[in-house]
Structure 1
């Protein structure tokens, strides 16, 4: 048997009989709630306190904060939308047309779905404050819609001159003229 112990590598012996854990009396204390160095008896004695339920006032405050996050979410998308609109150019291409379509579709769908966006936050006690968040949400959707209108105007698709409306006015002269080749 002693010959077996000599031929067994040290790591196998450590697996069979692990070394004692190092003392935790060092200069660095264990983090709070770290149970690995506790004995089983100490772990049973240490119980996690259940989290107390928030009061209705605290819940209303949390719901209102989340409602304002939803209300301001459309503004967070505006810089990226504006950059994409600028980068797509002012000519009529499939990419710029899709960008304009999305610039109009998303705010309109957001305005239509305003009540669904806020119904999970609404309660009887915070109804007036949620209405303020809803109005801010609609205003932010209108700003997003204005970016789409800016793009349509930049593409030259909005009738903004008198010649666009009146038949006897002279039409604008185009800056460039494209002729198809055969």
Structure 2
């Protein structure tokens, strides 16, 4: 009968006993954040040590960076939205109506869900809440800028009453000072 080693596939044998590490080139250092598997990063039994847990300051910094990414996300999609609105034209068509609807819906939903968007970044502490308030204010400002693009499109379509002729219904008719008599 064949031994159990012979019946094991090659990839299993390689997985169980990985090849030895290659020697580094002289003068070449490891990239930042890379551990080369030297004896300092391994325990005495040969197994790698688990990475150490980040400190609370590092976690606060990481959460704040992620919160800023969320705060600036509405502005990142703004150029594409503006181009799509420009390309859809100013006439009343189904495509331009859908674009205007989405231009109003997305910022309004974002404004209503502001606290929900930043809920996962909240931590206890006075200093972090002030920084989170700044990111929330920037998020609201970016949503208002996105809403302004929708208002620009509605105005370009001629749907906003911005001229005097749009309000003629509420103006009284002028009394004429001259009379004209037509000739036969």
Shorter-chain TM-score above 0.5 = yes
CA gap 1:166/1:63 in 2 versus in 1, 3 angstroms: same
Residue 77 of structure 1, CA deviation: 0.2
Hey, what's the Cα distance between the residues in 2 that align with 1:166 and 1:56? 64
Matched residue SS, 2:161: coil
Name 1:65's counterpart in structure 2: 65
Unaligned regions of 5+ residues in structure 2, if any? 1-9, 11-19, 31-35, 39-43, 174-184
Deviations 1:70-109 (A, max 9, x none): 0000000001000100110000000000000000000000
CA gap 1:27/1:150 in 2 versus in 1, 3 angstroms: closer
Name 2:179's counterpart in structure 1: none
Give the superposed CA RMSD.
3.0
CA gap 1:24/1:150 in 2 versus in 1, 3 angstroms: closer
Unaligned regions of 5+ residues in structure 1, if any? 1-14, 16-22, 35-43, 171-182
The 8 Å contact of residues 67 and 130 in structure 1, kept in 2 or not, is answered as yes
Deviations 1:2-27 (A, max 9, x none): xxxxxxxxxxxxx9xxxxxxx98889
Matched residue SS, 1:120: helix
Give the total of aligned pairs: 142
Hey, what's the Cα distance between the residues in 2 that align with 1:169 and 1:162? 13
Residue 57 of structure 1, CA deviation: 1.2
Name 1:131's counterpart in structure 2: 133
Hey, what's the Cα distance between the residues in 1 that align with 2:89 and 2:49? 60
The 8 Å contact of residues 163 and 169 in structure 1, kept in 2 or not, is answered as no
Residues 1:150 and 2:152 aligned together:
yes
